[in-house]
Structure 1
Amino acid sequence: MKVDILASGSSGNCIAITIDEKTILIDVGIAKTKIEKRLLEVGIMPNNIEAIFLTHAHNDHVKGLPLANKYKIPVYAAEEEWQDIKGVNEDLVTELGIGGIFGTGNFSVMHFNVHHDARRPLGYVVRDKNGFTISICLDTGKVDDEMLSIMKKSDIYIIESNHDPRMVEASNYPNSVKARIVSHIGHLSNQQTAEALAKLVRGTGEKVYLVHLSSHNNMPALAEMTVKRELLKKGFMAGKHYELEVV
């Protein structure tokens, strides 16, 4: 299974997961033309996309949805989120209810609830026919026990490490925005992400991608150091027990 993170951050998010030349996208939060360009740069033909799975309806996750209409790609999102998603041809829409596993050719995709200020935001677990597993957890203000249980024993973790609370507090953001970011329906801090990964990583060579970093309230080196420090408490070293990449 091949992972290409085409965009990450508050300006847009898009992840491509490919098996045997067939691809699914998790979120399409940049312009359609940019998605097409970045797909081609990593060797993916847009007409080989089997499905698009949306985490939620915020613009940095849905901006590129015209791609679906152009290539007739089915789009999956929580039933409640479709109230805020516009412009997708009706015959391409699939509403995700509670639970369920959706097969899309080479892929098995399960969704789970996360905590963000959207109607019903989701994370996803993607498996291939051999059981290789990728967990994707983007915008969420906390990681609860149910989320950990669903994501455990994955081979790849793609998880947001959005901010450092001290940088948020020192920023010139309005107090209402600061409160939103650090709330339980906002975004994960570096420390929250590190603590979640300490419960998930078993030291069996897992690959971890830290994504959705704030360009104003975080630094890649800080996010990386925080996770490494927490995992080192368990005796796990990057490059030996797991692989870590900050996107």
Structure 2
Amino acid sequence: MKVDILASGSGGNCIALRTNETTILIDAGIAKTKIEKRLLEVGIRPDEIEAIFITHAHSDHIKGLPLANKYHIPVYASEGEWKDIPSVDKEIANILGLKGTLFDYEGYGDWIEIIPFQTHHDAYDPYGYVVQTENMKVSICLDTGVVDSSMLEAMQGSNVYIIEANHEPSMVEASNYPNSVKTRILSHIGHLSNQQTAEALSKLVTGKGEQIYLTHLSKKNNMPALAELTVMGALSKKGLKANIDYKIEVV
């Protein structure tokens, strides 16, 4: 499975995953024309997208959904999140339960299974996703205030972890954000700090060559090097070394 992170952060989020015969998007949070352009840059035609899976209905995750109407791409989201998803044609709108869905292309030996798991964010019913084939498992955990045991169980054993490392709490506290915004970010339905992300990954990464992508970094309340070093420090306590036992990239 090939992973292309087309956009990450408060300006928009969009991830393309493809096998031999199947290409899906997780979120469509940048403008339709930008998604089209970035897909073509990585060798994907927009009309090849089989489905779009939405984590939650905040604008930085659904802004580009007119793409679905243009190319008649099925869109999947939890029942709760459809309350805040506008302007998707009824015939392509699908409610996704926690059992997930399977795309199976008989004759090609190509199948891809998408299983959601519940996250903790200030939305109606937000999801993370496990996307797996016969030989590969990718976990995608974006906006969430905590990583609980059920989330860890869902993501366990992945080859690729795409997870937010949004902020450094001391930088949030020192920022000029209103107190209400600071409280939201730091809450259990806000965003993950570098340390929270590091703690979760230290429970997940075993050193089998996993690829880690740190995403959704705050431009004002984090630094890429700080996020990376925090995670590497936690993994080093397990005896794991970057570029030997795992790979890490800050997006």
The bucket for the TM-score relative to the shorter chain is over 0.9
> Which residue is 2:119 aligned to?
114
Give percent identity, aligned residues only.
65
Q: What aligned pairs does 1:157-172 form with structure 2 within 5 A after superposition?
A: 157-172=161-176
> Which residue is 2:132 aligned to?
127
Distance apart, 1:131 and its partner CA: 3.5
> Which residue is 2:107 aligned to?
none
Q: How far apart, CA to CA, are the structure 2 residues paired with 1:28 and 1:104?
A: 20
> Which residue is 1:100 aligned to?
99
Conserved 8 A contact 2:22-2:112:
no
Match among 171, 178, 184 for residue 180 of structure 1:
184
- 2:214 is equivalent to residue 210 of structure 1: yes
Q: Which deviates more from structure 2 when the two are superposed, residues 223-232 or residues 20-29?
A: 20-29
- Aligned residue for 1:12, secondary structure, equals coil
Structure 1, unmatched stretches of 5+, are none
Deviations 1:130-189 (A, max 9, x none): 231000000000000010011000000000000000100010000000000000000000
> Which residue is 1:37 aligned to?
37
TM-score (norm 1): 0.98
Q: How far apart, CA to CA, are the structure 1 residues paired with 2:135 and 2:53?
A: 20
Q: How far apart, CA to CA, are the structure 2 residues paired with 1:96 and 1:124?
A: 11
Amino acid in structure 2 at the alignment position of 1:206: E
Conserved 8 A contact 2:31-2:63:
yes
Conserved 8 A contact 1:21-1:48:
no
Q: Which deviates more from structure 2 when the two are superposed, residues 18-27 or residues 149-158?
A: 18-27
Distance apart, 1:104 and its partner CA: 2.2
Conserved 8 A contact 2:199-2:234:
yes
Q: How far apart, CA to CA, are the structure 2 residues paired with 1:208 and 1:244?
A: 5
Distance apart, 1:236 and its partner CA: 0.3
> Which residue is 2:157 aligned to?
153
> Which residue is 2:27 aligned to?
27
Q: How far apart, CA to CA, are the structure 2 residues paired with 1:38 and 1:119?
A: 29
Amino acid in structure 2 at the alignment position of 1:167: M
Moved over 6 A (4+): none
Amino acid in structure 2 at the alignment position of 1:64: G
Amino acid in structure 2 at the alignment position of 1:213: L
Between the two proteins, the alignment pairs up a number of residues equal to 245
Q: How far apart, CA to CA, are the structure 1 residues paired with 2:233 and 2:67?
A: 40
- Aligned residue for 1:169, secondary structure, equals helix
> Which residue is 2:65 aligned to?
65
Q: How far apart, CA to CA, are the structure 2 residues paired with 1:145 and 1:100?
A: 18
Distance apart, 1:107 and its partner CA: 1.2
- Aligned residue for 2:3, secondary structure, equals strand
- 2:202 is equivalent to residue 190 of structure 1: no
Conserved 8 A contact 1:28-1:63:
yes
Q: How far apart, CA to CA, are the structure 1 residues paired with 2:50 and 2:38?
A: 17
Q: How far apart, CA to CA, are the structure 2 residues paired with 1:153 and 1:33?
A: 36
Structure 2, unmatched stretches of 5+, are 105-110
Amino acid in structure 2 at the alignment position of 1:101: G
> Which residue is 2:108 aligned to?
none
Distance apart, 1:224 and its partner CA: 0.2
> Which residue is 2:225 aligned to?
221
Q: How far apart, CA to CA, are the structure 1 residues paired with 2:22 and 2:12?
A: 23
TM-score (norm 2): 0.96
Distance apart, 1:208 and its partner CA: 0.4
Amino acid in structure 2 at the alignment position of 1:93: A
